[in-house]
Chains A and B, each alone.
Chain A
């Protein structure tokens, strides 16, 4: 079965410094991988996704992630944090390819941004 591990439950950064949110996945197939963001009391919004095209994926709001098969990682980065980036981030892996895609969610990383 597919699984995803988010290595940090909380990450704290200062505004203007780089962001790194770590995610490792387990998959027997070529997975689809996603990062979603959830702002307080809001639904989830897609940041970016990897579906076996370019390994460096660019998303919204300056975020990007690199798929590294050898390390089974899909870490999320941003060069410079903004206060508005404070939210919870979920790494998500897709179940093996079949007629129905089942998403498996990580437990989330809460990003705190201080002035």
Chain B
């Protein structure tokens, strides 16, 4: 039982390049999330998927797109990377999206945009 896995662990991009961050969970959770973590700001929600087949914007969605490929997988795409997107990205999952549910986090992807 690996929990939440993310690939890649590290990535360096040039401004304008595109990439997709992959996330998978093996806990049969319905809900999945993408966050970014910046120094001194805690985690901020980019997009979430409350259940398979649905996706919605979070607090900071500009410059990102997501795909809930199936129940297990939730990917985050940067179409044209910008230096402001340099951050650590975390994927998380929870059994449901209801109040009080525990979210389980992956190990993160460190992204540097030059």
Contacts and interface: CB of A to CB of B under 8 A. Distances in A.
Interface string A22-62: 00000000001010100001111110010100000000000
Interface of B: 4, 40-45, 48, 50, 56, 58, 90, 92, 94, 97-108
Q: Could you say which of A36, A43, A94 has the most chain B C-beta atoms within 10 Å of its C-beta?
A: A43
B57 to A, nearest CB: 11
Contact size range, A:
20 to 34
Interface of A: 9, 32, 34, 36, 41-46, 49, 51, 90, 94, 97-103, 105-108
B48 A106 contact: no
Q: Could you say which of B43, B90, B94 has the most chain A C-beta atoms within 10 Å of its C-beta?
A: B43
Contacts of B99: 32, 51, 94, 97-98, 101
A90 B97 CA distance: 20
B100 A105 contact: no
Q: Main SS of the interface on chain A?
A: loop
A102 B54 CA distance: 16
B43 A90 contact: yes
Contact of A103 (B45, B104, B106): B45
Contact of B98 (A43, A101, A106): A101
The 10 closest A-B pairs by CB, nearest first: A105-B42, A51-B100, A43-B105, A44-B105, A32-B100, A97-B99, A105-B43, A43-B107, A100-B97, A107-B42
